Amino acid sequence: MAAPSLSAADDGSTPGLSGQDVARINQLISNAASQLVRSPLAVQTENVALANGYHRIRGSDMKEGNPDWIYPNNVFVMLDGERVTVSRGDTLWNLSRNKLIESALVFDDVMARLDGAGNHELAVLITRAMAHATSEERADRLGRALETMQAGRGE
């Protein structure tokens, strides 16, 4: 016996499914998606850990908030190459968060300076913005700004 298929009609209706069925399916999809979507901070933290020879962060590590596997005087090489020495009370989560905040501030500063920059400065600023476009949102913002600049210059 073949499994029933789910589909929507051209008019957007869902023949054979009640409103309650559709709501239940939407909730299942939402639950599954929330288990798969990771914040930029979680990704940054894990990438710093992996780049420094630590194990992949498991879900239980995140839920327990257990930073016991880093110690004062450990030196971490952040993803941009900066060396950070762990102090008492530091967590990899907080070190990564601070780095993301710093990166956001630099990115916003660079974006504000793009308009009106000369060709040489523009190349430097674009390179710097690309290095700090650590999220899809920032990459999209940079891409839109560059497209607008090209259109304004008639390129």
pLDDT digits (tens, 9 = 90+) for 70-106: 778 888 898 888 999 999 888 888 999 999 899 899 9
pTM score over 0.85: no
DSSP assignment string, 74-100? -EEE-TTS-EEE--TT--HHHHHHHHH
Task: Determine the pLDDT at residue 85.
Answer: 93
**Helix ranges (DSSP H) in 37-132:** 40-51, 59-64, 92-114, 119-131
Q: What percent of the chain has pLDDT over 90?
A: 8
